Amino acid sequence: MQHTEFKEDSQPLSAFGAKTASLLGQMRRTGRPLFLTKHGQAEAVVLDAAAYEQLIEELETLRDIRTATEQVAAGRGITHHAAKRKIREGLRA
């Protein structure tokens, strides 16, 4: 996803209904999300479906990393050799 340019990528919510196709085209061309505003304040963000999926995958990966880091800090981690052994045992089952 491209760097967000709020001034360039924001439109009044009322304009979105009237110019949906062209605004979606702008979003696809720039690769940036579209901010919809109401009274000058951001109300919603329209994001390309592929970019949304990528964002969710990255978020899930970061959550997994945080969980793993917390587990290791709490002493619940295992050594590399122990992990390899568990995997090998699982493959044999």
How far, CA to CA in Å, does 75 sit from each of 78, 83, 87?
8, 15, 20
For residue 3, what pLDDT is reported?
65
**Domain spans of the chain?**
10-47, 50-92
Taking the chain (93 residues) in runs of 10, the rounded mean pLDDT of each run is 68 86 90 90 90 94 95 90 92 80
Distance, CA of 73 to CA of 67 (rounded, Å): 10
Which run of H or E residues covers position 34? Answer: strand 34-38
For residue 42, what pLDDT is reported?
86
For residue 53, what pLDDT is reported?
94
Q: How many beta carbons lie within 10 A of that of residue 9, not counting itself?
A: 19
Distance, CA of 51 to CA of 42 (rounded, Å): 19
For residue 6, what pLDDT is reported?
65
Q: What residues contact residue 8 under an 8 Å CB cut-off, 6+ apart? A: 30, 32
Under a CB-based contact definition with an 8 Å cutoff, are residues 9 and 35 in contact? Answer: yes
Place of tokens 């109401």: 38
